[in-house]
Every structure is written in C-alpha cells, then in structure tokens.
Structure 1
Amino acid sequence: MLAYFSTVPTWAVLLLVAFAAAGVCCMILWTLLRTGLAWRLATDIPNDRSLHYAPTPRVGGWGMVPVIVGATLLLAPDLWCAALGTAFLAAISQVDDRRGLPARVRFLAHLVAVAVLVVLFPAEAPWWILAILSVLMIWLVNLYNFMDGADGLAGGMAFFGFAGYAAGALLSAHPVMELAVAAAIVAGTAVGFLLFNFHPARIFLGDAGSVSLGYLAGAFGYWGWRGGAWPLWFPILVFAPFIADASVTLARRLLRGEKFWQAHREHYYQRMVRSGMGHARTALTWYAVMLTGIMLAVFLLGRPATFQGCAVAVWVVVLCLAGVVVDTRWRRLQSTLSDN
C-alpha cells in the first residue's frame, strides 16, 4: 500500500496518515455523541476518588481502536500481531467497562497479548531478557490505565509518545518505515480523541482505549528495539513521565500494604489538579515535560553509548526533582488545610 506514495516525502506520508486517522476517529466519536450511543456503551459515574463531577461517556477507545487496527493492517501489515492484540484487549476491556471483570481475568488477557507477540516475533536476545521485557510491557498496559484520570492527559501523552516513536523510527540509523506509519496512525487518533477530551472533557478514554494504548506503547517499543531502530532506553525515555508517576505511586501503595489496583487519587498528576493547577494547566505541564524528554530521546539516537547513558541519567534526576516539587506543594497545601 505504501508503494503508491513512493514519490512523496516520507514525512509528508506520515502527516497524511496522521491527519486521516484523526479525521476518521473524530467522525466516529462525534457520531457516538450526536446519536446518544456514547452514553449507552459505557458511562463513567463520579465517585469520591474521581477528579470530575458529572457522568461522562467512556468511549474514546471506540473511536481510536477501530482506526488503529484497520489502518495498521492496511498500511503496516508487518505489525498485524500488535494490531490484533490491540483488538483483543479492547474487546476484553469493553466488557470490563460495562460489567466489570476480576483483576485476574484482565491480567491473563494482558499476559496473552504480550506473550503471543514476543513468542511469534522473538528478538535476538536471551530468553530471560525477553521475559523481563514481557513483564515491563504488561506493566505498561496497566500503568496507562492507571494514568487515565485527568482531562487531556492520557490522550496528550499518546499523541506525543507515539509521535516520538514515529520520529525515532524514521530518523534512526536503521529506519523501520512500517513502525513509523503505525505510530503516526496512533498519534493521529489521539488528536481526534483530544478534540473531545481536553478540558472540559466531553468523553473519557475508558479501559478499551487506555489498555490498548498501553499495550501499543509496549509493543511498538519492543518492535523498534527488535528491528534495530532504537536501544532499550528509547521507549522508556519517551514515556518516562507516565512510567515514573505510576511506578512511584505503586511502590508507595505497596509499601503501605494497600491494594494498588483500587482507584485512588495519589498520582502526581492528580495532586497537581487537586492542588489548584486544574486539568488544563496540569495537562499542558505534562505535555511540555514529555515533549522535552522525547526531543532528548530522538537527539540521543546514534550518539555514543556513554553520552546516551549520562543524558538519560540527567533526565531521570530532572524527573525526580519535578516529583519533589509536586510533593512539597502537596504537603504545604495539606498543612494549610489542616491548620484551617
């Protein structure tokens, strides 16, 4: 299919694909809202752990997943396994959105989708490295779901993250064109979703969307490493803000003996919203941080390994300092409220 665009600059092809994906996704979501079907598919009812106050349809995945799966199978068929894995997880997650599923059932589905990809398309690495990567990919599936709790946040992270994947796959010393196209498709659908999700959100992503995006973040990161487009640190650096927030929050809850899968409001982004920044400013702040990390990741491709390691370490320190700032601001707010 891409052969028809052989005379068009590659960057123009990616932009065309992204715009088309955004348009189709936007049209699907607009139709769901206009017809009222969005409310019947899945609705998020606010509770004491929510950051919103009105019932809102959770149908973002209904606009994004069909476009991602269909366009990937058509334009990037090498990634058929990732596309079908996305469809599988979206179907399981939609059942969870409507009726609820036990955590063990959801985890088994995540394990199957990741294992099938790694088994059918193994990288040239020892089995224990592939096992560790599989665990990290399963964690990505879940953390994206954990981080879907503020207007514009998860959708914006999807746009920047997968746009970063597209740039990395295209600009690498070993380009992987189909991966760049597939990533551009996902980034485009994220734009179509954001038109309805940026504050004040008219729709939410829902598990069908967040779980699918988490899986694709891991699957595409693995595919790029397997194909030589980037080293292992690249996808981690691209999604570093998401990974850091969810991982630190999980660690804290485990140390307190709490059930990490239960809904809560302890993530850094939730504290930022609740401390007065609001949804829009919080999302824009995260966009700036993630864009900076992505630009650094793309810049580091092809640089000496020692330089890469030092730069990644510096960025980790920057993210840790940002977390300290958020924690300090939150403690001051809590102290002020308790004094009053």
Structure 2
Amino acid sequence: MLYVALIVVFLLSILLTPLVKKFSIAIGATDTPDHRKVHKTIMPRMGGLAIYLSFLIGILIIQPAGDSTWPIIVGATIIIITGALDDRFQLSPKLKLLGQLLAALVVILWGGIQVEYINLPFSGGVLEFGYLSVPLTLLWIVGITNAINLIDGLDGLAAGVSSIALITISGMAIIMGDTYVAIFGSILAASTLGFLLYNFHPAKIFMGDTGALFLGFMISVLALLGFKNVTVISFLIPILILGVPISDTFFAIMRRILNKQPISAPDKSHLHHCLLRVGFSHKETVLIIYGIAAMFSMSAFIFSQSTRLGAVLIIIVVLIAIEVIVESIGLLGKDYKPLLRLVRDRK
C-alpha cells in the first residue's frame, strides 16, 4: 500500500505544481529579482502548496496510526498558511516567527513531541530536561524551520537538500523499525521530488516560504520523532543529517557577529553564494551542495552503526571537512584561513 501511495503522491505533486503556478501568478504571489537574488526574471512562488497538498493526500490514503498525526497535520497547516501569507503579502519577521511558534507549540503541547531526556553515554545516567524540555524542543523546531528557509537561494537547492534529508531519515527509521516516521518521511520525500522536476534549474516555479518553512518544520518534527530521548552520541545523528542547513545557518550567524551586523541581516555570503563567486555555475553549485548533503547523510548512517571511538573519529573528520570547505570558499570571509595557512606553513 505504501508503494502505491508513494507513486500516487509523486504523480499528484507533478500534476498539482502547474496548477499552483497559475494560482500564484493569479493572486500576485511572485518573486521579483533584487540585488540579493540570483534569478533575473519575475517568478511565481508558493510552490510549496503543491508539496503540502500531495503530502496531505498521501497521509490520508495511508492513515498512519499514531497520536501525533493530527497535531503534525494541524501544525503543518499553520506553517503553510504563514508561508503563503508571506509569499503574497511579505509578513513582518515577528508575524512569521509567531506562526512558527504556534505551529511548534501545537506539536509539542498537543502531540507530545518533545525531547524529555538524554541517556548519558559513559555514566549510564539520564539527563532530564524537565522544564527546559519545551523551550529546547521549540528552539529545535523553529531553528531547523528557518535553516531550510535560509538555504532556499538557488533553483532546486532547498527541495533537493530536503529530499536527501527525508530519504535518510526514512531509511534510518526503517532500520530502527519505526514505521510511523518512515511513512511520513517517504511520503513527504515523494511529494518534494515531484515538485523538484519543476524547481530544478532552470526553475519554472519557486517553493517560496510556503514550501521552505513547511519542509523545515516537517523535517525538524520527523527528526525529533525518530531520534528523541536517545544517547548524547545518537542525538548527533539528526544534526549530521541536516548538516548543510545547520552549518550554513551557524556560519551565517558567526559571519554577522564578526562583521558586527544584526543576526537577522540578509547577505550574499551563504554557501551557495560563495560557490558561485568561486566560479561554479548555477547548476554545478546546486549539485555540489547535493553532494555535500549526501556525504553528511552517509556519515550519519555510518555514525549510527559505529562504536563510540568510531563515532568520535567520524565527528572529527566531519568537522575538519567543514572547516576546509569554509576556508576554501570564504564562508567566513576571504581572510579567514587558519587551517589552510597552518598546512601551507608546515610544507
């Protein structure tokens, strides 16, 4: 039944996207080029509506048994409304954040989705979060929701990176015997891949905040469902899977702090901007980031099957790889190259 649903969802996404494109143009939900954007022509957005509708139909077909189903759907609907209103009317940051907080609180308080404790790896004890459980879970959901939104800067980038993350989460859920997360993740991946056919360079439609916020929200919730209440080591798995959006957001914050700019200030120094400046084409840049996302996902899978020592070694290798990429493309500025200088000086 799941395989049939996945095919139906994929085809529905393909069929719905042109309709959503016409709808976006009709209501004026379009993206106009400016100095920060890469595209040169006015583009319809709100494409995330096609992802959401096909995903929703797929869930209604499968009807996965779980107390969290309706809270997730209601929370996702709040996010979709927030994103759609922003795509059409350009909401203020405060209103967008309010919508995200409301959606997150629905799944936390109604759905009971939250990280309540972590098993400590060496002592055998348990770290209870207590009253911090809700704010920490809220921070995770809102943080990942916005991280996906931040990388939505090139044709097919957010959709492709999200698809890789969703496929990884679903695959690991199958290995762990978590059918519920596997169903949600795979249906959402099928919806996103159908949309990607129209969104890959040269894009015919953008997902907009409607899609980016929705995918970020859903990925954050599914990661919580699949990996909550685990050991400190295992809790790093969803962080690895989401390595691209998390690291890009982290370095964006660091860059703005170093440049004494507001954290929310927009710029053209994200990962994809830096790769474009280095000389890669639009399509090459997207494919390179897909490759980086796939490597993060592969490291997460190997990490989950490793011993403690192996897990520590994987983290060290990943951190070194991130540092080399950051310095090579100037993600923190052209002059930030401590590791590369150290290697060069030793030669």
Q: Would you say 1:27 and 2:29 are equivalent positions? A: no
Query: After superposition, what is the alpha-carbon deviation per residue over 1:233-263, rounded to whole angstroms, capped at 9, x for unaligned?
Result: 1111011011101211122113433233343
Structure 2 CA distance for aligned equivalents of residues 211 and 329 of structure 1 = 25
Q: Sequence identity of aligned pairs in percent? A: 22
Structure 2 CA distance for aligned equivalents of residues 31 and 102 of structure 1 = 28
| Letter of the structure 1 residue corresponding to residue 198 of structure 2 | F
- Partner of 1:105: helix, strand, or coil? helix
- C-alpha spacing 1:37/1:133, structure 2 compared with 1 (3 Å): closer
Residue in 2 aligned with 1:56? 43
Structure 2 CA distance for aligned equivalents of residues 189 and 328 of structure 1 = 32
Contact map agreement 1:69 1:84 (CA 8 A) in 2: no
- Residue in structure 1 matching 2:147, options 143, 147, 151: 143
| Letter of the structure 1 residue corresponding to residue 25 of structure 2 | W
Structure 2 CA distance for aligned equivalents of residues 87 and 152 of structure 1 = 23
Cα displacement (A) at 1:31: 2.9
Contact map agreement 2:151 2:245 (CA 8 A) in 1: yes
Aligned residues: 316
Residue in 2 aligned with 1:217? 219
- Residue in structure 2 matching 1:203, options 205, 221, 228: 205
Q: Would you say 1:112 and 2:102 are equivalent positions? A: yes
Structure 1 CA distance for aligned equivalents of residues 9 and 229 of structure 2 = 25
Q: Which runs of 5+ in 2 are unaligned?
A: 118-128, 336-347
Cα displacement (A) at 1:166: 0.5
Contact map agreement 1:271 1:330 (CA 8 A) in 2: no
Write out aligned runs for 1:182-197 (5 A).
Answer: 182-197=184-199
- Residue in structure 1 matching 2:25, options 39, 42, 63: 39
- C-alpha spacing 1:269/1:291, structure 2 compared with 1 (3 Å): same
Cα displacement (A) at 1:146: 1.3
Cα displacement (A) at 1:201: 0.8
| Letter of the structure 1 residue corresponding to residue 51 of structure 2 | M
Residue in 2 aligned with 1:322? 325
Cα displacement (A) at 1:331: 3.9
- Partner of 1:277: helix, strand, or coil? coil
- C-alpha spacing 1:181/1:22, structure 2 compared with 1 (3 Å): same
Contact map agreement 1:152 1:280 (CA 8 A) in 2: no
Structure 1 CA distance for aligned equivalents of residues 238 and 7 of structure 2 = 23
| Letter of the structure 1 residue corresponding to residue 75 of structure 2 | G
Structure with higher helix content? 1
Q: Which runs of 5+ in 1 are unaligned?
A: 6-12, 333-340
Cα displacement (A) at 1:187: 0.9
RMSD of equivalent CA atoms: 2.4
TM-score (norm 1): 0.86
TM-score (norm 2): 0.84
| Letter of the structure 2 residue corresponding to residue 293 of structure 1 | F
